[in-house]
Structure 1
Amino acid sequence: MEHGGAEAVIIGGMVLDIHATPSMPANPRTTTPGRVRYILGGVARNVAECMSKLGAKPYMISAVGLDMPGNLLFERWKSAGLSIEGILKDSDIETPVVCNVFDANGEVAAGVASVEAIEKYLTPDWILHFKSTIDTAPLLLVDANLNLPSLRASCKIAADSECPVWFEPVSVTKSKRITSIVKNVTYTSPNEDELIAMANALFGADVFHPLKANHNLSTVSLFNMLKPAIWVLLEKGIKVVVVTLGSEGVLLCCKGGPSHIRSPLKKTTRSGSSENLYKIIMQKCPPNWCFGVSEPDRSSRLFAVHFPSLPASVVRLTGAGDCLVGGTLASICAGLDIMQSVSIGIAVAKAAVEVEANVPSAISLAAIADNAKTVYSGAKVLFHQSML
């Protein structure tokens, strides 16, 4: 099964999200008035859709059933003009569905996930059908919903063709699957809790502890608490760790120095809308921004940059992380460096939290570029010192 152009490959779940929002405080053992909406979801699907809004044409490898949720997900994907070759459809598949009940702040108060089909049907055999597509891809994203054999198979194909891998942790529990593929992972994007879980799994002991909820730490204090866990991931071979901090922004970390964190992909896929993205961001956020870092790059050094978040009128928080990753990936694949790309990711995440859907139905490139400029100009080096 061939694919016409070299585009990023996204492997993971396509999920129908059911969002239930009570219009008053919910009471146990009875129904509560409110709104129930069907939202197209799934971490990998959200990332891929977000990329498509920025001009990329991601190649999705997933599985859905011939049921109502599956037909809805499949037809919407097809109508967007994106490739459907990698999406397995079968009557035996029960399409993944997640039902979330939200509180008044837009946070998930409770939820039920029925996503077993991702592990059961996204098998190594199905993924191997698309080896030639992965071979030519500029980047591969795998989400941690995949079972361990499928994660290993995906990363083995990518490693053989020197295709960088982005590992999206999905959840605290599933993030621990990093242990089986860490040597092949180039980028990863955990939140604070996923970072701690990944570091403990890779270290082989629970030596790092989750931060208290609603902590009022400064960015510097927060980084200092997370720094040992970040270093574990880098020491195990991950090249770039993108730690998402919600309203506190993003930490971008690597070994060495700026030259390591700025390196673009070997292959880029600029055309049409992604060419416009590249041009406008190169003007708004010129590369080679001077951090005032003059020390030589050494592998014993940890280099960390903090990117601020943007103020937003929050409607939903569920798609923010996925859109941050999607915006970052689309930008990297268009030829922008990782610092420009993370700035765009944060700008897209702002757009995501201001709508009901996981991914905005339309993204204004001009607004994204202006917001990315604000983020990019506000980025600061937090740390560039030896860890020895």
Structure 2
Amino acid sequence: MVLDIHATPSMRANPGTTTPGKVYYVQGGVARNIAECMSKLGAKPYMISALGFDMAGDLLLKQWKSAGLTTEGILKHKDIETPVVCNIFDVNGEVAAGVASVEALEKYLTPDWILHFQSILLSAPVLMVDANLSHPSLIAACRMAADMECPVWFEPVSVTKSRRISSIAEYVTFASPNEDELIAMANALSGSDVFHPLKENHKKNISVISLFQMLKPAIWVLLEKGIRVVLVTLGSNGVFLCKKGGPSHFKMPTEKTNRCGFDGQLYRTIMEKCPPSRYSGFSELDRSSLLFAVHFPTLPASVVRLTGAGDCLVGGTLTSICVGLDIMQSVSVGIAVAKAAVEVEANVPSTFSLSAIADDVKSVYSGAKVLFHQSML
């Protein structure tokens, strides 16, 4: 849980002086954003975090309570400096510079604190961990989930912190890196810097198929190391969904699902708009050498702020998995939710419209295309 300070100039900024603009305090933090998004979609996420008794902590805790979510998992202590991130944006809404003060997450979110909540995982459909956690805490959380037979979603957070996947890959069911995080994770898991980030000017001038071909070796490293589903987020280029074998996609066991999203309407609406039998003609053999990859397009949007899009994509996807939709349907929901996020100033919209999301989900789902379904040998 992080307090984000967003500074947006009203004109091009010059170094060495102040620039007119707007400064906003925004509730942030990757895991917190994802959890808030899920709550706005009707889920009840259980948050494990740490806050101080300071202005930032008070703001974050007040918002969390107002959403009707439990604070039992949030450690509160006078010695904690609540994590704060200050982002300065350019006139196009992209982050131009930022400073993060998040040391408290590693210091106070210890394995001992996390293990307090082992019983919660008995009924949890999925455990989402973000890479702000230290190596020991990530390992403790993932082993706890494995003991409870609970799938794990790993959110990389940043290029630097994404390398923490090296200690937990065997436990991870889902991972959601962007292109640069994917490269960093593949290098960390392969033990050498064999993969290189794509240059920005190169990415703008290549097709989606060419982009996939360039990223495919790095994606395969993650799958070979045990991650079952890799979602590569591509910004305006959409999402790659990749897994081994055929298109039989991960779906939550019925006893773990909770059809609470939008008072139960999310599951029924998406099942009606996007039936799950679209890829029934493919072989369902889960062959270890076979790579299956699908590209999901993005949707046109009136962009205000890009910072919450990735977190809301994960939040929408996770909520959908938790209500019992399959991964193809769930990613489509995630992209529709991300579209709503970029059209507001906050990291997470104050409300979502189920009818608007459902129409957007249908567009994304129908526009998804299989890119690759071949052996990697």
Conserved? CA contact 1:56–1:274, under 8 Å: no
Identity %: 77
Q: Distance in 1 between matches of 2:279 and 2:150?
A: 29
Return the letter of the residue paired with 1:258. P
Q: Counterpart of 2:325?
A: 336
**Cα RMSD for the two superposed structures:** 1.1
Return the letter of the residue paired with 2:238. G
Q: Distance in 2 between matches of 1:72 and 1:237?
A: 39
Q: Counterpart of 2:86?
A: 99
Provide, for residues 226-284 of structure 1, a one-character-per-residue CA deviation record: whole Å limited to 9, x for no partner.
0000000000000000000000000000000111x243345111136251110111111
SS of residue in 2 equivalent to 1:88: strand
Q: Counterpart of 1:6?
A: none
Return the letter of the residue paired with 2:196. H
Which of 340, 346, 349 aligns to 2:335? It is: 346
Cα offset for 1:292?
Answer: 4.5
Cα offset for 1:289?
Answer: 1.1
Which of 320, 328, 337 aligns to 2:309? It is: 320
Conserved? CA contact 1:15–1:96, under 8 Å: yes
Conserved? CA contact 2:177–2:231, under 8 Å: yes
Cα gap change, 1:89 to 1:293, in 2 (>3 Å): same
Q: Counterpart of 2:275?
A: 286
Is residue 2:360 matched to residue 1:371?
A: yes
Cα offset for 1:134?
Answer: 1.8
Return the letter of the residue paired with 1:161. M
Cα gap change, 1:274 to 1:286, in 2 (>3 Å): farther
1:32-181 pair list within 5 angstroms: 32-181=19-168
Task: List gaps (5 residues or longer) in structure 1.
Answer: 1-13
SS of residue in 1 equivalent to 2:374: strand
Q: Counterpart of 1:193?
A: 180
**What is the TM-score with the length of structure 1 in the denominator?**
0.95
SS of residue in 2 equivalent to 1:113: strand
Q: Distance in 2 between matches of 1:303 and 1:274?
A: 34
Q: Counterpart of 1:19?
A: 6
SS of residue in 1 equivalent to 2:306: coil
Conserved? CA contact 2:238–2:296, under 8 Å: yes
Conserved? CA contact 2:261–2:319, under 8 Å: no
Conserved? CA contact 1:138–1:163, under 8 Å: yes
* More moved, 47-56 vs 288-297: 288-297
**What is the TM-score with the length of structure 2 in the denominator?**
0.97
Conserved? CA contact 1:291–1:380, under 8 Å: no
Conserved? CA contact 1:63–1:89, under 8 Å: yes
Conserved? CA contact 2:251–2:325, under 8 Å: no
Conserved? CA contact 1:200–1:206, under 8 Å: yes
Q: Distance in 2 between matches of 1:89 and 1:297?
A: 46
Cα gap change, 1:223 to 1:147, in 2 (>3 Å): same
Return the letter of the residue paired with 1:306. H
Cα offset for 1:25?
Answer: 1.1
Task: List gaps (5 residues or longer) in structure 2.
Answer: none
Which of 252, 261, 269 aligns to 1:264? It is: 252
Is residue 2:251 matched to residue 1:240?
A: no
